[in-house]
Structure 1
Amino acid sequence: MIEPERLAFSNIKPQVPENGAVKLDDITVSFEKTAHGCAVYLTAQKTPVSFVRLRFCVPFPTGTRFLGDAWERSYGDLSWQGMNASRIMPWYCLSHHEGQTAGYGVCVRPNAFVSVQTDSYGVTFIADVRNGSHGVLLGGRTLKVCEIVSEVYADCSAFEAAKQFCRIMCTDPILPNEPIYGGNNWYYAYGMSSHEEIVNDAAYISALCENAEGVRPYMVVDDGWQFAHDVTTCNGGPWHKGNEKFPHMKALADDIKAQGCRAGIWLRPLNTTDESLPAHWRLAHRHEVLDPSVPEVLDYIKETFARIAGWGFTLIKHDFSTFDLFGRWGKEMDYRVTEDDFTFADRSKTSAEIVVGFYKAVLEGASGAYILGCNCIGHLGAGLMHAQRIGDDTSGLYWERTRQMGVNTLAFRLPQHRAFFDIDADCAGLTAKVDFAKNRQWLNLVAKSGTPLFVSVKPGTLSEEEYRVTAEALCQNSVQTDTCEPLDWFDTVTPAHWRINREEVTFDWYTDDGKENFGYHVE
Structure 2
Amino acid sequence: MLRRNFIKLSSTVLAATLYSRITYATAGGVQLVNDPDEVWAMADGDWFMLKRRGNEFSDKGITIEIKSNSNSKGVYIQSPTADLKGVRLVWKYQTRQYGKVLGDHWERSYGDLGWKAPDADTKKPWYVMLHDDKQTAGFGVKTGCSTICWWGIKPDTIALTLDTQSGGEGVKLGNRKLHGADIVTTMSRAGENAFATTTRFCKMMCERPRLPKQPVYGINDWYFAYGNNSQKFINEFTKAMSEFAASGNKPFSVIDDGWEQADDFSKHNEKFEDMAKMAGEIKVMGMRPGLWTRPLIARLDTPKSRLAPTIKNRDDVKSPILDPSIQENIEQIKHNISLYRQWGYEMVKHDFSSWDIFGRWGMQMGKDLTQPGWHFADQTKTNAEIILNMYRAIRESAGNMYLIGCNTMSHLSAGLFELNRIGDDTSGKEWERTRKMGVNTLAYRLPQNNTFYAADGDCVGITKDVAWHRTKQWLQLVAQSGSPLFISADPSFLNAEHKVAIRRAFAEAAKPQPVGEPLDWMETNQPTKWKLDGKVVTFDWS
- TM norm structure 1: 0.92
In structure 2, do the counterparts of structure 1 residues 320 and 241 end up closer, same or farther at CA, with 3 Å as the change threshold? same
Instruction: Tell me the distance in 1 between the aligned counterparts of 2:35 and 2:436.
Output: 42
Output one character per residue of 1:440-487: Cα deviation in whole Å (capped at 9) or x when no partner.
001111101110010111223211111111111112111132431000
Instruction: Tell me the distance in 2 between the aligned counterparts of 1:336 and 1:328.
Output: 10
Instruction: Tell me the distance in 1 between the aligned counterparts of 2:21 and 2:329.
Output: 44
- Residues 1:57 and 2:110 are matched in the alignment: no
SS at match of 2:386: helix
Aligned to 2:106: 71
8 A contact 2:108–2:407 mirrored in 1:
yes
Aligned to 2:250: 216
8 A contact 2:109–2:422 mirrored in 1:
yes
Output one character per residue of 1:60-89: Cα deviation in whole Å (capped at 9) or x when no partner.
244521000000100000010112111111
What's the CA shift for 1:351? 0.6
Aligned to 2:431: 399
Instruction: Tell me the distance in 2 between the aligned counterparts of 1:178 and 1:502.
Output: 21
Q: Identity percentage over the alignment? A: 39
What's the CA shift for 1:8? 6.7
Aligned to 2:35: 16
Instruction: Tell me the distance in 2 between the aligned counterparts of 1:352 and 1:483.
Output: 30
What's the CA shift for 1:497? 0.3
Instruction: Tell me the distance in 2 between the aligned counterparts of 1:37 and 1:318.
Output: 32
Aligned to 2:466: 434
Aligned to 1:515: none
Output one character per residue of 1:290-349: Cα deviation in whole Å (capped at 9) or x when no partner.
111111111111111000111111110000000011000000002531124310111110
Give the aligned residue type for 1:149.
V
Aligned to 1:243: 269
In structure 2, do the counterparts of structure 1 residues 63 and 299 end up closer, same or farther at CA, with 3 Å as the change threshold? closer
Residue 151 (structure 1) aligned to one of 186, 194, 203: 186
Aligned to 1:281: 306
Instruction: Tell me the distance in 1 between the aligned counterparts of 2:512 and 2:440.
Output: 20
- Residues 1:261 and 2:296 are matched in the alignment: no
Which runs of no fewer than 5 residues in structure 2 stay unpaired? 1-19, 25-30, 37-52, 312-318
Instruction: Tell me the distance in 2 between the aligned counterparts of 1:340 and 1:484.
Output: 41
Matching of residues 219-230 of structure 1 within 5 Å: 219-228=253-262
Instruction: Tell me the distance in 2 between the aligned counterparts of 1:238 and 1:185.
Output: 21
Instruction: Tell me the distance in 2 between the aligned counterparts of 1:394 and 1:338.
Output: 25
Residue 343 (structure 1) aligned to one of 346, 367, 375: 375
8 A contact 2:98–2:130 mirrored in 1:
no
Instruction: Tell me the distance in 2 between the aligned counterparts of 1:499 and 1:184.
Output: 27
SS at match of 1:80: coil
What's the CA shift for 1:179? 1.8
Greater Cα offset, 33-42 or 446-455: 33-42
Residue 170 (structure 1) aligned to one of 190, 196, 206: 206
What's the CA shift for 1:227? 1.2
- Residues 1:362 and 2:394 are matched in the alignment: yes
8 A contact 1:302–1:361 mirrored in 2:
yes
8 A contact 1:108–1:169 mirrored in 2:
yes
Give the aligned residue type for 1:77.
D
Aligned to 1:319: 351
8 A contact 2:32–2:73 mirrored in 1:
no
Matching of residues 83-122 of structure 1 within 5 Å: 83-122=118-157
SS at match of 1:264: strand
Output one character per residue of 1:93-147: Cα deviation in whole Å (capped at 9) or x when no partner.
0001132111001100111110101111121111110111111001111001111
Instruction: Tell me the distance in 1 between the aligned counterparts of 2:303 and 2:491.
Output: 43
SS at match of 1:260: coil
Give the aligned residue type for 1:383.
G
SS at match of 1:239: strand
- Residues 1:473 and 2:498 are matched in the alignment: no
What's the CA shift for 1:289? 0.7
In structure 2, do the counterparts of structure 1 residues 284 and 63 end up closer, same or farther at CA, with 3 Å as the change threshold? closer
Greater Cα offset, 411-420 or 479-488: 479-488
Instruction: Tell me the distance in 1 between the aligned counterparts of 2:175 and 2:59.
Output: 14
What's the CA shift for 1:214? 4.0
Give the aligned residue type for 1:201.
F
SS at match of 1:125: strand
Give the aligned residue type for 1:197.
F
In structure 2, do the counterparts of structure 1 residues 337 and 214 end up closer, same or farther at CA, with 3 Å as the change threshold? farther
Aligned to 2:416: 384
Instruction: Tell me the distance in 1 between the aligned counterparts of 2:82 and 2:509.
Output: 53
Aligned to 2:11: none
What's the CA shift for 1:281? 1.5
CA RMSD of aligned residues (A): 1.6
Residue 329 (structure 1) aligned to one of 361, 365, 369: 361
Instruction: Tell me the distance in 2 between the aligned counterparts of 1:139 and 1:185.
Output: 48
Aligned to 1:463: 495
Which runs of no fewer than 5 residues in structure 1 stay unpaired? 1-6, 229-236, 511-523
SS at match of 1:296: helix
- Residues 1:443 and 2:466 are matched in the alignment: no
Give the aligned residue type for 1:436.
W
Instruction: Tell me the distance in 2 between the aligned counterparts of 1:360 and 1:501.
Output: 35
Q: What is the aligned length?
A: 493
What's the CA shift for 1:30? 0.7
Give the aligned residue type for 1:244.
E
Instruction: Tell me the distance in 1 between the aligned counterparts of 2:255 and 2:507.
Output: 21
Give the aligned residue type for 2:538.
T
Give the aligned residue type for 2:505.
A
Instruction: Tell me the distance in 2 between the aligned counterparts of 1:49 and 1:361.
Output: 26
Instruction: Tell me the distance in 2 between the aligned counterparts of 1:30 and 1:63.
Output: 30
Output one character per residue of 1:207-254: Cα deviation in whole Å (capped at 9) or x when no partner.
122xx14411111000000011xxxxxxxx411221000120000101
Instruction: Tell me the distance in 1 between the aligned counterparts of 2:348 and 2:460.
Output: 20
Output one character per residue of 1:139-165: Cα deviation in whole Å (capped at 9) or x when no partner.
111001111111111320100000000
Output one character per residue of 1:327-381: Cα deviation in whole Å (capped at 9) or x when no partner.
0000000253112431011111001100000100111111211000000001011
Give the aligned residue type for 2:527.
P
